[in-house]
Structure 1
Amino acid sequence: MKKTLLLFVFVLTTVVAAQAQSPRFGVRVGANYSGLSGDDPTAYTDRMFGFHAGITSQFAVSSDNFFAIQPEVLFSKKGAESKDDNRKIKLSYIDVPVLAKINAGPLYFEAGPQVSFRIGGDIEQDGNNIVDDLDFYKSTSFGYAAGVGLASTPLGLSVGVRYNGDISKLNDTDNISDRRNDLFMLTVGYMFPSR
């Protein structure tokens, strides 16, 4: 199922990119406000701040750039903390969203699937690492992203908000509660070349 979804996203992106006009590339950075959702998030009930940074691209599908496909590769810090802030779970991911984007003047809307690859993480208690290796969490997760923002096409700048939610659980272990990443992003992008 996961390999089929990955293959579908790759083929769709390749086909659209092959038919699209003059791709644009850029960078994206911003703040994350992350938490864990699920049946029982146990000790990690509060959200925490992180960041994201990476590269973005945009392939216009329509001649007026009203509809575009926007794949990205982002490094993203996620996690959650206890209510008293003394226990934190910190997770590092490479997120690869493939978004359908509607450019309606300065306003844009985006939504699409996302695959995330966990590249690190730890659990902290009172500022000290108590678990350095989170192998009981899956290395790959699938989810979705949706957002809205403002873009200045002549300058190449954009500012937006985005929500990311995981469909797959963080782990498959029966004795660990059902947790999923849950993330709000404030993001700033710059596309080359500006138009």
Structure 2
Amino acid sequence: MKKTILLFVFAIVTTLTAQAQMQAPGVGIRAGANYSGFSGDDADNLDRMFGFHAGLTSQFYLTSDNFFAIQPELLFSTKGAESKDDTFKYKISYLDVPVLARINAGPLYFEGGPQASFRIGGDIESNNVNIDDDLDQFKRTSFGYAAGIGLAATSLGLSIGVRYNGDISKLNENDNVSDARNDVFMLTLAYMFSGR
């Protein structure tokens, strides 16, 4: 975990150093809906459920025409899955830290890159009653990737997009229990305050 955190810090410092020679970074907010589930061999009996995400986004432009940027984010994100009859739910909260490469091609943008997720809370519910809020069976840190596409109104600072993020890491601490992983589709809105 320490090596991964150092890798993320190195990536951000490198980006900031390169950015110092370019224009000011864009800083903004992002929020939207999650449609999450678990993927893997042991997740066949579970359905997706709705959640949300919200947080900070930024863009460090690496070209003078803003065509290419590095986009680090810090997002609070609710994920999980539920039984097919909606009586049993896994509800898990994370801080997601994606560091994405972004291509701005006119009104269209494309993004993709690695993501680290840090579990900060959640519970397991049965018939809308909390039966377990000690989720130590789930890993505190997971690693994955994110990729998306969207439309941006650059002059207004607004964008809307769809994004998929999936974990490479297994969800459970005990590798003998399950190979389930987080699997999330996102509808996301962003507003950039600066750097437009």
Name the TM-score class by shorter chain: over 0.9
Spell out the pairing of 1:4-15 with structure 2 (5 A cutoff): 4-15=3-14
CA distance in 2, matches of 1:63, 1:142: 32
Q: Percent identity?
A: 68
CA distance in 2, matches of 1:61, 1:156: 18
1:24-54, CA deviations, whole angstroms, 9 ceiling, x for partnerless residues? Answer: 10000000000001121264x1000000000
Is contact 1:93-1:117 (8 Å) kept?
A: yes
Is contact 1:33-1:50 (8 Å) kept?
A: yes
Spell out the pairing of 1:1-195 with structure 2 (5 A cutoff): 2-20=1-19, 21-41=23-43, 43=45, 45-193=46-194, 195=196
1:169-195, CA deviations, whole angstroms, 9 ceiling, x for partnerless residues? Answer: 112314421110000000000001263
Question: Structure 2 unaligned runs (5+)?
Answer: none
Question: Structure 1 unaligned runs (5+)?
Answer: none
Tell me the TM-score normalized by structure 1. Answer: 0.95
Is contact 1:153-1:194 (8 Å) kept?
A: no
CA distance in 2, matches of 1:108, 1:132: 39
Q: Which residue type is aligned with residue 192 of structure 2?
A: M
Tell me the TM-score normalized by structure 2. Answer: 0.94
Query: How many residues matched?
Result: 193
Q: What SS does structure 2 have at the residue aligned with 1:11?
A: helix
1:105-130, CA deviations, whole angstroms, 9 ceiling, x for partnerless residues? Answer: 00000001000000001110000011
Shift of 1:22: 0.6
1:155-177, CA deviations, whole angstroms, 9 ceiling, x for partnerless residues? Answer: 00000000000010112314421
CA distance in 1, matches of 2:121, 2:106: 39
CA distance in 1, matches of 2:15, 2:37: 34
CA distance in 2, matches of 1:42, 1:148: 28
Is contact 1:33-1:49 (8 Å) kept?
A: yes
Q: Which residue type is aligned with residue 17 of structure 1?
A: L
Q: What SS does structure 2 have at the residue aligned with 1:22?
A: coil
